[in-house]
C-alpha cells in the first residue's frame, strides 16, 4: 500500500508558499484548507493543503525549504483513504470544543504538535491524526519528528479531553 504525503503550510507566515510549492514539489492537488468551511471568508489567509503524491523525495525537499520547518507539517495518508475524508477531517479540526469552549486550532505549526507529542493521550493523538497514519514536523530544536497513530482511527463525537487542549482555553 502506497503512502501519500500531504503538506499543510501556513500561507500567512510563508507569504510565497504557493510559489515555493509549485517550484519544489510535484503537486497532485492544492487547496486552501478554509475553502467550504465557516472560515471561508478568510480564504486569503488560509493554510494550503497540498497532496504531494507518494514520492518520498518530496519529504526530503520539504526539509530544506526556508521557514517550512516552523510553519508546516506533512501528514502521511495511506492511498486507500479517500482524500475527501482526510480533507474533511482537517477542516473539522479547525474548530473544536474543549471544556465547553470553542477553539481554532493552528495545527500547521510545530508548537501544536510538540505539545501533542509531549502531553496528549493516545485517544487524542488518534483523534488529531484522523484518517492519516502519521505526521512529520520539526521540533523547536529543528529536529525532524514523526508521530504515528497509536491505534486505528475511530471518530469520537464531542470534545477533546486531554489537558494539552485545555491549556489553550
> Grid coordinates 507539517 are at which residue?
73
Report pTM: 0.87
pLDDT for res 165:
56
* pLDDT for the residue numbered 150: 77
Residue (of 150, 132, 139) closest to 76 by Cα position: 132
Task: State which residues form the domain around 156.
Answer: 3-166
Q: How far apart are CA 162 and CA 132, in angstroms?
A: 20
For the chain, the average pLDDT equals 87
Q: What per-residue confidence (pLDDT) applies to 103?
A: 78
**Tally of domains within the chain:** 1
Determine how many CB atoms are found less than 10 A away from the CB of residue 56.
12
pLDDT tens digits, one per residue of 40-50: 999 999 999 99
Nearest to 124 by CA among 109, 107, 138: 107
For residue 155, pLDDT beyond 80: no
Q: Is the pLDDT score of 169 beyond 50? A: no
pLDDT of residue 151: 57
pLDDT, tens digit (0-9, with 9 covering 90-100), for 106-140: 888 888 899 999 998 888 899 899 999 999 999 88
Which of 12-26, 32-46, 93-107 is the least confident region?
A: 93-107
Do the beta carbons of residue 106 and residue 112 sit within 8 Å? yes
Mean pLDDT along residues 9-24: 93
Amino acid at each position: 500500500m502506497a503512502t501519500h504525503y500531504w503538506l499543510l503550510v501556513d500561507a500567512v507566515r510563508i507569504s510565497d508558499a504557493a510559489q515555493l510549492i509549485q517550484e519544489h514539489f510535484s503537486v497532485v492537488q492544492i487547496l486552501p484548507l478554509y475553502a467550504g468551511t465557516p472560515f471561508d471568508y478568510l480564504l486569503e489567509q488560509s493554510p494550503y493543503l497540498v497532496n504531494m503524491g507518494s514520492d518520498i523525495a518530496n519529504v526530503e525537499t520539504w526539509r530544506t525549504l526556508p521557514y517550512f520547518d516552523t510553519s508546516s507539517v506533512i501528514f502521511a495518508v495511506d492511498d486507500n483513504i479517500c482524500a475527501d475524508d482526510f480533507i474533511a477531517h482537517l477542516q473539522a479540526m479547525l474548530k473544536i470544543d474543549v471544556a465547553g469552549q470553542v477553539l481554532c486550532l493552528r495545527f500547521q505549526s510545530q508548537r501544536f504538535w510538540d505539545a501533542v507529542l509531549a502531553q496528549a493521550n493516545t485517544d487524542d493523538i488518534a483523534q488529531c491524526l484522523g484518517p492519516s497514519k502519521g505526521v512529520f514536523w520539526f521540533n523547536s530544536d529543528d529536529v525532524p519528528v514523526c508521530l504515528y497513530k497509536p491505534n486505528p482511527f475511530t471518530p469520537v463525537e464531542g470534545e477533546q479531553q486531554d489537558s494539552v487542549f485545555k491549556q489553550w482555553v
